[in-house]
Copies of this chain bind each other. A is one copy, B any other.
């Protein structure tokens, strides 16, 4: 994690407010570069252009900040990916919507925030339980969709748990390789990911897929 990710996206005005989400993004980047343990509140304050007193206006401490970043990431996933997909009754369409939605979020969002989601060991037990349950709920949502496809005879002859993890792996890895200033456009990558995922998981030939 050498490269500083540029903030090309406008900072969203989420519930927590502009300034807080700006701090989350910067903090996530620094944690990716230096590791969670190697990052100090001072490093974050400096990068965010805040005084040490200023940063404590937003966050109580480093563990609390990590939990806030993870909550922000999961809220984002809930609102932009899970909620719209839940509206879709057809499992094949729902799966496509999940792949499209999650892939797009990762291609357009701040990769560091997704990577920081793995720092589970640094959370307090209470915070860890909360994030773990939210990740689990997303995983179960994907797996249930695959189970529905299985019962409809559409899933390949693969275990649905294995299938769900292989899908999550290919999607989450985007945060580690995709460069917004590189040659590949987000639209192009998203289209390819949908193709690879749908054909990899479902029995249909490419003919039946958009």
Contacts and interface: CB of A to CB of B under 8 A. Distances in A.
Copies in the complex: 2
Interface stretch (A5-13, A82-90, A153-161): A153-161
A36 to B, nearest CB: 6
Interface in A161-201: 161-163, 165-174, 176-178, 184, 188-189, 192-193, 195-197, 199-201
A206 interface: yes
Specify the main secondary structure of chain A where it touches its partner: helix
Contacts of A121: 1-2, 33-35
Nearest to A156: B195
Contacts of A195: 156-158, 200
A17 interface: no
A10 to B, nearest CB: 26
Interface string A122-147: 10000000000000000000000000
